[in-house]
Amino acid sequence: MDWHYIPSLAALRAFEAAARHQSLSAAARELNVTHAAIAQHVRALEQEFSDSLLVRQGRGVAATAAGRALAERLGDGFQTIAEAVGDLRDRNADRPINITVTPGFAGSWLMPRIGEFWSKHPEIQVNINPSCSVMDLRQEGFDMGVRYGAGDWPKLEAEMLTAAAYCAVAHPDLITGRKVRSLHDLADLPWVMDSYEREQHRVLEGEGIDLAGLDVTLLSTNDLALSAALAGLGVTVQPSSIVERDVRSGQLVKLFELKDNGLGYHMVTVPGRSTPHLRTFMAWLRKVARQEQDHEMKKAPGAAGASCKS
């Protein structure tokens, strides 16, 4: 198709609406433009074709013979386009949801909870891609990402899911009988950290801890660092929302809560790109996160002789 010989689609839409409604004002309301814009589009087409397309009739307009022939064909074409778009939307409404999440969020927050969603919504398939890489949601076909940060990613919509106040945690056996008043009281213990989680490192430095002075084992993912802490191999710093279940079950002890840095895990989406299934999944995520936050507010302070800083 050679688009050089086809007038602007905006002008064709304006003319078709005016001919169908027999009114420039009604066409303007339908297309959410001004009366003058519709009139300008019609004049441009008449100049393009060197033919009259609309004439005044009473308080409205009527199509000429040439205008009627064009309007009918345009109406058929626009209807075909609308049906094609509707069919594609209907098909996409039932397709699986593709999301990208950080490995730590997937392993420690999402997977222990998602069974509830699958039970309630067996008709919705969720494909989960755990990755630390920066993903282009548009280009790589993801419906949503869950990412950690301040939520200021350009050209994307970000909604805070759960705040990520950090805390230092360890296996109970590692800190038996130890009083913890500050992170400095843990400096002689082994530490396990994700080598790529720079936020964790900055949080520690903000508490006056010199990482170079710690016995730190750096691991390739946060999931490995958390697994090492669960195995009693060292102290680690994690977002509270990630370790909440392990603390609640007694597998980890919360030793120290760090300063709130205003960051958190966000649901990240492309503006204007949504499906009913995605909206259902995001609503479920919000509900679970809210329940977790309510539980955190109601629960008693940490135990095991550790004193927590608020």
Structural domains in the chain, sorted by start: 3-93 (1.10.10.10), 94-310 (3.40.190.290)
**Confidence at 247, pLDDT banded by 50, 70, 90:** very high
The pLDDT assigned to 239 comes to 81
- pLDDT tens digit string along 50-85? 999 999 999 899 999 999 999 999 999 998 888 787
In sequence order, the 6+-apart residues with CB closer than 8 A to the CB of 211 are: 201, 204, 205
Asked if the model's pLDDT at residue 251 lies above 80, the reply is yes
Give the residue-averaged pLDDT of 173-182.
87
What is the DSSP secondary structure assignment for residue 101, as one 8-state letter?
Answer: E
What is the DSSP secondary structure assignment for residue 235, as one 8-state letter?
Answer: B
Phi-psi region at 163: left, alpha or beta (left = phi > 0; alpha = psi -120 to 50):
beta
Asked if the model's pLDDT at residue 139 lies above 90, the reply is no
* Helix 24-31 × helix 9-21 angle, to 10°: 130
Give the residue-averaged pLDDT of 150-167.
86
Answer whether 228's CB lies under 8 Å from 236's CB. yes
**Confidence at 162, pLDDT banded by 50, 70, 90:** confident
Asked if the model's pLDDT at residue 202 lies above 80, the reply is no
Q: Give the separation between CA 269 and CA 278, rounded to whole angstroms.
A: 10
Q: Give the separation between CA 97 and CA 277, rounded to whole angstroms.
A: 7
- pLDDT tens digit string along 273-307? 888 899 999 999 999 999 877 776 666 454 343 33
Q: Give the separation between CA 148 and CA 223, rounded to whole angstroms.
A: 15
List helix spans (H) across 94-110: 103-105
- pLDDT, averaged across the chain: 85
The residue among 92 and 212 whose pLDDT is bigger is: 212
CB-facing half-sphere around the CA of 149: CA atoms within 13 A:
14
Give the residue-averaged pLDDT of 240-268.
85
Asked if the model's pLDDT at residue 250 lies above 60, the reply is yes
Asked if the model's pLDDT at residue 257 lies above 50, the reply is yes
Give the residue-averaged pLDDT of 160-183.
87
Here the tokens at position 204 are 């520690």
Give the residue-averaged pLDDT of 173-177.
90
Q: Give the separation between CA 154 and CA 248, rounded to whole angstroms.
A: 37
In sequence order, the 6+-apart residues with CB closer than 8 A to the CB of 95 are: 275, 277
Asked if the model's pLDDT at residue 262 lies above 80, the reply is no
List helix spans (H) across 137-261: 198-206, 222-230, 240-249
List Cα–Cα distances, 57 to 30, 103, 225, in angstroms: 20, 67, 78
- Which one-letter amino acid corresponds to residue 17? A
pTM: 0.57
**Confidence at 93, pLDDT banded by 50, 70, 90:** low
Answer whether 118's CB lies under 8 Å from 146's CB. no
